[in-house]
């Protein structure tokens, strides 16, 4: 430094050096921290693809990259083709069969979520994990092993990987559960809320695996997690959903759906929730709100009219539709989630228009032919033939009856006699606008702070016992419980009192609901509205094999 430099300037230079050496790196670190990496799992699914599309638009803000995006994708031809344009946009050369590719804010791990090494590679360096990943029904119900691998084991891989990379106090996990976890909620219990009993419908292996996956998340000990129990996602390509499962739904099923657009937007909006929010470490119902509520009968009626197909009852018989044992409900409490992530947007009319706008060419042609008087009958005849092919398949309701599949008939209709007593379309329909009652969760929900007496009462209401003699008041700390069948297990009070979970050993499969309801008053609330105490059915873990 020159000797003749004024003292005040010397001080300025020294201060500048100190600022440069010590403060600029810190500012750089803050700037780096502001650009977070988001791992999206299941990006090729209906909710996941919509979420990816919106995340891709959101990743750049004011000319700067706000997020880096990471994906874990199976290296299928479909996925390779779907994401090739984004690799090209990010100047990623070469598409390996497996392994990691990266460039300009996009990283793709071409692998398998059910393989831990692939999940660990995907989780490295991320700040967020959004997981709409799922292997859904009806495929899941025909392949329980794959369902468990994707819907349970892969979720456990996520949690294990978060701990292995040291992210348990930093990484934010948004898990997507399912309305299927609470099973059928017909008539007086058709309005549900978080904390109601879990009751995956018989033969619904997808729901059982989602329950196990959610339990792992809730009990993970992570600092930042949420579970969003997603309702039925109404996709624009509604015709792709034609499967015998469409007749497993009772006509009076109450559905509060979500469009794929709203589902994806809601998931991405989770990124705007600060870590200081009380949003974290909770379970929520995720639906489209009151404007998206409809019964299955009304849905079928509206959809066929929108498509120009006339009255659906002309091509379907009433006894094709089951009387119980599906899922869906209206939500009393999903406004709570909307206050955090603002996912409500589309309504019934919007969705119907989406379907019309996305009709495949063959259906547009069929819609036009229906306007020709001489051809209308032929189109309806062809439509009925297609419907009959579904109900006469091994997973079809008429096939069960005509081939004496008693377990399926008992589960979905109650009995062969109940099936035979179903009238035609001229007979009175079930009540499509029933009154509803709120279910009891077994403790005083108005109390802000619970005590051990509340836990004991909740356990007793579930037919069990609280084994722990002391409790420190930590709702997320595990304590010991025993169920009515003498299974002992560890679980947090939050899991038991706030989310509807109970004994893991009693959770299906196998399904032993008739016996459980006799000993568990909490569960009986959701069983006896459409079952009797005289029923005594048992469905083993391999019950799905009857339709293979």
- Provide CB contacts within 8 A for 212, sequence distance 6+: 148, 151, 152, 504, 507
Residue (of 352, 378, 353) closest to 365 by Cα position: 378
> Quick one: pLDDT band at residue 170, thresholds 50, 70, 90?
very high
Q: What is the C-alpha end-to-end distance of the chain, expressed in Å?
A: 86
More confident residue, 205 or 240: 205
Is the pLDDT reported for residue 5 higher than 50?
A: no
CA dihedral over 346, 351, 356, 357, signed as positive or negative: positive
Question: CA-based Rg of the chain, rounded to a whole angstrom?
Answer: 27
> Quick one: pLDDT band at residue 310, thresholds 50, 70, 90?
confident
CB 129 within 8 A of CB 41: yes
pLDDT digits (tens, 9 = 90+) for 82-122: 999 999 999 998 667 889 999 999 999 999 999 999 999 99
DSSP 96-159: -SSEEEEETTEEEEES-TTSHHHHHHHHTT-SEEEE-----TTHHHH-HHHHHIIIIIHHHHHH
Is the pLDDT reported for residue 219 higher than 70?
A: yes
Q: Is the pTM of this model over 0.85?
A: yes
Measured CA to CA, the distance from residue 346 to residue 358 in angstroms comes to: 16
Measured CA to CA, the distance from residue 428 to residue 192 in angstroms comes to: 26
pLDDT at 330: 98
DSSP 212-249: HHHHHHHTS--SSEEEEEE--EE-S-GGGG-SGGGGSS
pLDDT digits (tens, 9 = 90+) for 343-384: 999 999 999 999 888 887 777 776 777 777 777 788 888 899
pLDDT digits (tens, 9 = 90+) for 240-274: 778 999 999 999 999 999 999 999 999 999 999 99
- Both tokens of residue 124? 């490295």
pLDDT digits (tens, 9 = 90+) for 11-30: 443 443 333 333 334 333 33
- Provide CB contacts within 8 A for 48, sequence distance 6+: 40, 41, 42, 132, 133, 264
């Amino acid at each position: 430094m020159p000797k003749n430099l004024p003292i005040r300037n010397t001080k300025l230079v020294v201060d500048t050096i100190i600022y440069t050496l010590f403060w600029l790196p810190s500012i750089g670190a803050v700037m780096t921290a502001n650009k977070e990496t988001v791992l999206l799992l299941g990006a090729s699914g209906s909710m996941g693809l919509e979420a990816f599309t919106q995340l891709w638009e959101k990743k750049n803000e004011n000319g700067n990259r706000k997020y880096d995006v990471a994906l874990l994708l199976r290296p299928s031809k479909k996925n390779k083709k779907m994401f090739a344009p984004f690799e090209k946009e990010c100047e990623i050369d070469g598409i390996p069969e497996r392994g990691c590719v990266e460039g300009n804010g996009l990283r793709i791990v071409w692998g398998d979520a059910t393989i831990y090494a692939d999940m660990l590679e995907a989780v490295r360096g991320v700040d967020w994990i959004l997981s709409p990943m799922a292997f859904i029904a009806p495929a899941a119900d025909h392949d329980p092993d794959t369902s468990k691998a994707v819907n349970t084991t892969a979720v456990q891989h996520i949690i294990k990987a978060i701990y292995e990379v040291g992210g348990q106090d930093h990484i934010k996990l948004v898990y997507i559960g399912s309305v299927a976890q609470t099973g059928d909620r017909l008539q007086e219990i058709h309005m549900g809320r978080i904390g109601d009993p879990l009751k995956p419908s018989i033969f619904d292996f997808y729901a059982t695996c989602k329950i196990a996956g959610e339990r792992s998340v809730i009990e993970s000990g992570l600092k930042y997690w949420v579970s969003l129990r997603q309702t039925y996602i109404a996709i624009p390509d509604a015709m792709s959903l034609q499967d015998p499962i469409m007749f497993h739904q009772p006509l009076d099923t109450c559905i509060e759906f979500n469009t794929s657009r709203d589902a994806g937007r809601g998931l991405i909006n989770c990124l705007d929730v600060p870590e200081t929010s009380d949003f974290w470490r909770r379970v929520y119902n995720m639906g489209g709100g009151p404007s998206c509520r409809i019964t299955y009968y009304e849905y079928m009626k509206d959809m066929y009219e929108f498509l120009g197909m006339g009255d659906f009852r002309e091509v379907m018989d009433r006894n094709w539709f089951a009387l119980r044992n599906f899922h869906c409900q209206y939500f009393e409490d999903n406004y709570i989630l909307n206050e955090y992530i603002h996912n409500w947007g589309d309504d019934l009319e919007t969705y119907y228009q989406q379907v019309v706008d996305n009709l495949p060419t063959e259906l547009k042609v069929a819609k036009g032919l229906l306007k020709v008087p001489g051809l209308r009958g032929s189109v309806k005849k062809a439509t009925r033939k297609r419907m009959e092919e579904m109900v006469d398949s091994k997973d079809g309701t008429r096939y069960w009856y005509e081939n004496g599949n008693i377990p399926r008939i008992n589960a979905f209709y109650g009995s062969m006699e109940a099936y035979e007593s179903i009238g035609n379309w001229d007979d009175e329909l079930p009540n499509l606008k029933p009154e509803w009652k709120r279910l009891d969760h077994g403790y005083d929900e108005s109390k802000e702070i619970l005590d051990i007496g509340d836990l004991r009462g909740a356990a007793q209401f579930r037919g069990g016992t609280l084994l722990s003699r002391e409790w420190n008041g930590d709702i997320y700390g595990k304590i010991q419980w025993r169920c009515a069948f003498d299974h002992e297990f560890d679980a947090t009070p939050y899991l038991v009192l706030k989310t509807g979970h109970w004994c893991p050993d009693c959770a299906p499969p196998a399904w032993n609901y008739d016996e459980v309801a006799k000993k568990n008053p909490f569960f009986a609330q959701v069983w006896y509205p459409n079952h009797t105490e005289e029923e005594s059915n048992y469905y083993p873990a391999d019950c799905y094999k009857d339709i293979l």
